[in-house]
Structure 1
Amino acid sequence: MSTNKLFSEFEPVSSKQWKQQIQFELKGADYNETLIWESPDGIKVKPFYHADETKDSMTSSKSANSFKILQKIFVHDIAKSNAKALDTLKRGAESIYFTIENENCVLAELMQNLPFESITYYFNLPFLSVSFCDQINEFALKNKVKCIILLDPIGQLAKEGNWFNTSNNDFDALNILASKETNGFININTQTYQNAGATSVQQLAYTLAHVNEYFNRILNLNQPITIEVAIGTNYFFEIAKLRALRLLFNTLAKEYNHNFDCTIIATPTKRNKTLYDYNVNMLRTTTECMAAILGGADEVANLAYDAIYHKDNEFGDRISRNQLLILKNESYFDKVNNPADGAYYIETLTEQLAEKALELFKDIEANGGLITQLIEGTIQRKINESAQKEQELFDTGKEVLIGTNKYPNQNDRMKNELELFPFVKQNARKTLITPIIEKRLAEKVEQERLAQEQ
């Protein structure tokens, strides 16, 4: 029997008919109060979505099955970082993300014996040096390797409270780089917004405003732009968030005749990760990586299950990379092209998130733009308000982290396992603005449990 004949035997059922049947099954309970819930962004989520209430399907501009497995490496010891890059590429990594401490790094030593063909190397620089960027570009041209520089003075201001140097000096340096041949040097690091507790709409609007500042301040920005995103716990919303991000970016870029699609690097959030019952973090990061893939991320860098309290270690890195390898090679995530296309729920969420984010973006621009609102403290205040609301949900048990505020194992002992300080660090220093503070939901509970350990 053909598929067409099979389905032609059934009469189509409209959304109105579905709703009437649901209302009947509720036996008098209110449909809206019982089955419709509202997200922190003010998006009302219905119990079902139907074709007759959904606009034409949006086709993703990025194939979900083309993502690369990205390995992040902090360069402290050049020889060890080089060896780690070689090893991780042999073990399944497809791109490398180096974070370089300072410009004393010798590129030839760091890149020694690494494969250049079909591998992308990202260089995240927590400092701003035109001469060092020139070295990277010269190395890339000479060796025919794809090297992408990641510089984000605005992200530096938001997270640390200060520019690299000064506002004028930082943008002068970026304009110098814009005049040179490069695979890209602008990075929009939006992870701080998510890790500090911003809602999905806020993250999208702040990202768009973040991008817009660079479009306005850098002349002839004709290179690709990279956007780093943290993926949260709300699975379908996070898929829609990435889809909306690419849609909004391309809409804005066209206004500036910028003809490059953005490169999205996605990493699981730290906000919902826990110190106790830490193995649950693997479940959280798996679903977050799945959302990143389905949302169309170009590069996915997983977060190790023990990242908040252990230093980088081979076991944690291997497990996190293997999670992505399983998704890519054993769960067929590399075979299906854009499975979210045409899903009424995700399509509707994408549209609603994009519309609300665009509205907030316009408000930010009408009030001076992102940098002005960071200096005034408006962005920090709005994120803090959203974070406090989410914290209250966690504290009252309405937002659940298994093993922490629900079903905790009181026999867990973590005091002797801490190699890193897993809580907000107090670092008194003079800053131009109040920095955006990243904070995990479980910190207060964990501090209390650590204090009670024998």
Structure 2
Amino acid sequence: MEKNLFDSFEKVGSKQWKQKIQYELKGADYNDTLVWESLEGIKVKPFYHYDEFEIKVPSATPATPFSILQNIFVHDVAKSNKRALETLNRGAESIRFTIENESVSVEELMQNLPKDNTTYFFYLPFLSIDFAKTINDFSAKNGYKSIVLIDPIHQLGKDGNWFENLDKDFEKLNQTAKLGKSIISVNSSLYQNAGANMVQQLAYTLAHVNEYFNRVENISQQITIEVSVGSNYFFEIAKLRALRILFNTLAKEYNHKLDCIIVATPTKRNKTLYDYNVNMLRTTTECMSAILGGADYIANLPYDALYHKDNEFGDRIARNQLLVLKHESYFDLVNNAADGSYYIEEITNQLAEKALLLFKDIEANGGLITQLIEGTIQRKISESAAKEQEWFDSGKEVLLGTNKYPNKNDKMKHDLELYPFVKQNPRKTLIVPIIEKRLAEKLEQERLAQEE
């Protein structure tokens, strides 16, 4: 019998490692020097050892297979159909159409699009039973796999108003949910892009889901959860793992036995105008976090999405980033490389536990909708965003090319096709909207004002 080489070495415990580290620090304090605290209040240690906590068996959350998702805003039906065909021929595996009104012909939009192994999402920023039925009937008749994304709570949080009002929105949602297809969706990207920390993101998402479990009768289909992924690489992997654990724990209480569908997209919060090519590096690591965290569908964010209208080049680069990860880095073939990492497993547990405590507090105080109406959620997100903004302003949180090593010769004023900052739209709303805001906005506005 062959002898394992590592059996020849004496096992080293965490206590011995700490003693060696303390010796190398030459008197400096271990906790002050090497332990740092995240925005979520989690203390991150320099190493994790199996004898320090109870996790002995790694969680089994393989991140493959994931589907490459392409976003298409439907302004012109014929052009959107053509773009969908080209995109699928060039490597995309699923499509998310954003349809802004009911005048769009679903039959024309879907003409000649492939059916096998392709999922079509329809995001509707309006609430229409008839249009949702049209999509579902067409899909059933023609053999398409479609998912309609309707989320009145996201509408309330983002816009400040319901589509109509609470009662009518949920009355219509209940009717569309009876169509038998995936209708219920939770768009939690708003929380991340507005500056909520990961514990808040998880807790608010869980409370968001819970509102639908409570208010929609007999949810018999999978619930789609849309998330934004930031650049804290290992924490983001843990966040998505924790999300699935929390969802399934909650779903069991309602005898809902279907797993959620996770659709992930890189955040806009850390993206920048200046040195914009760095955005490609950011989105690459964020997509990796999404893959290893177990996302089912990933829609990459083009590097120029902040300031350019949709364009073929930006979309192609974004799609190719995912193609490289999938077919050249073999993320779709190997078992999840994050499985068994004590660090990730520990962070997953801590995020899940902290989020569950916050979720219980939200429910004890009336639930997510009540706390949105009272302004509690908005205030908590603003406090978290202000803390992260302070880290950015002080240089503790670094965005290369922006608040660290900026290229002072970089000019952007004449390249802006889109307004890249928070838009002011004073109007009467039921609640204070949750406002998405990037970390670099103030600094970028100052630089733009100084350009000749």
- TM score, norm. by length of structure 2: 0.99
Contact residue 222 and residue 258 of structure 2 kept, 8 A:
yes
* Structure 2 counterparts to residues 40-439 of structure 1, below 5 A: 40-54=39-53, 55-61=55-61, 63-182=62-181, 184-439=182-437
Please report how far the alpha carbon of residue 60 of structure 1 lies from its aligned counterpart in structure 2 after TM superposition.
3.2
Give the Cα separation in 1 of the matches to 2:74 and 2:326. 27
Structure 1's consecutive aligned runs of 4 or more residues displaced over 6 angstroms after TM superposition are none
Contact residue 240 and residue 293 of structure 2 kept, 8 A:
yes
Local SS of the residue matching 1:266: strand
Local SS of the residue matching 1:98: strand
Please report how far the alpha carbon of residue 179 of structure 1 lies from its aligned counterpart in structure 2 after TM superposition.
2.2
Aligned-CA RMSD value? 1.0
Q: Does 1:440 align with 2:438?
A: yes
Give the Cα separation in 2 of the matches to 1:342 and 1:52. 14
Give the Cα separation in 1 of the matches to 2:271 and 2:59. 33
Local SS of the residue matching 2:4: helix
Please report how far the alpha carbon of residue 178 of structure 1 lies from its aligned counterpart in structure 2 after TM superposition.
2.4
Contact residue 57 and residue 347 of structure 1 kept, 8 A:
no
Give the Cα separation in 1 of the matches to 2:264 and 2:156. 21
Please report how far the alpha carbon of residue 202 of structure 1 lies from its aligned counterpart in structure 2 after TM superposition.
0.3
Give the Cα separation in 1 of the matches to 2:60 and 2:228. 20
Contact residue 115 and residue 145 of structure 2 kept, 8 A:
yes
Structure 1 residues not aligned, in runs of 5+ = none
Structure 2 residues not aligned, in runs of 5+ = none
Contact residue 60 and residue 243 of structure 1 kept, 8 A:
no
Give the Cα separation in 1 of the matches to 2:266 and 2:179. 33
Give the Cα separation in 2 of the matches to 1:407 and 1:272. 16
Please report how far the alpha carbon of residue 77 of structure 1 lies from its aligned counterpart in structure 2 after TM superposition.
0.5
Contact residue 60 and residue 341 of structure 1 kept, 8 A:
yes
Local SS of the residue matching 1:244: helix
Please report how far the alpha carbon of residue 153 of structure 1 lies from its aligned counterpart in structure 2 after TM superposition.
0.2
Contact residue 98 and residue 121 of structure 1 kept, 8 A:
yes
Give the Cα separation in 2 of the matches to 1:29 and 1:392. 27
* Residues 352-397 of structure 1 deviation map (CA, whole Å, 9 limit, x = unaligned): 0000000000000000000000000000000000000111111111
1:287 maps to amino acid: T
Local SS of the residue matching 1:66: coil
Give the Cα separation in 1 of the matches to 2:413 and 2:165. 41
Contact residue 237 and residue 292 of structure 2 kept, 8 A:
yes
2:82 maps to amino acid: A
Please report how far the alpha carbon of residue 57 of structure 1 lies from its aligned counterpart in structure 2 after TM superposition.
2.6
Give the Cα separation in 2 of the matches to 1:56 and 1:97. 40
Please report how far the alpha carbon of residue 44 of structure 1 lies from its aligned counterpart in structure 2 after TM superposition.
0.6
Give the Cα separation in 2 of the matches to 1:259 and 1:110. 33
Give the Cα separation in 2 of the matches to 1:179 and 1:119. 24
1:336 maps to amino acid: V
Contact residue 177 and residue 184 of structure 2 kept, 8 A:
no
Give the Cα separation in 2 of the matches to 1:360 and 1:56. 27
* Residues 283-332 of structure 1 deviation map (CA, whole Å, 9 limit, x = unaligned): 00000000000000000000000000000000000000000000001112
Contact residue 57 and residue 341 of structure 1 kept, 8 A:
no
Give the Cα separation in 2 of the matches to 1:379 and 1:215. 20
1:282 maps to amino acid: M
Contact residue 58 and residue 341 of structure 2 kept, 8 A:
no
Give the Cα separation in 2 of the matches to 1:57 and 1:353. 18
1:100 maps to amino acid: I
Contact residue 59 and residue 345 of structure 2 kept, 8 A:
no
Contact residue 99 and residue 123 of structure 2 kept, 8 A:
yes
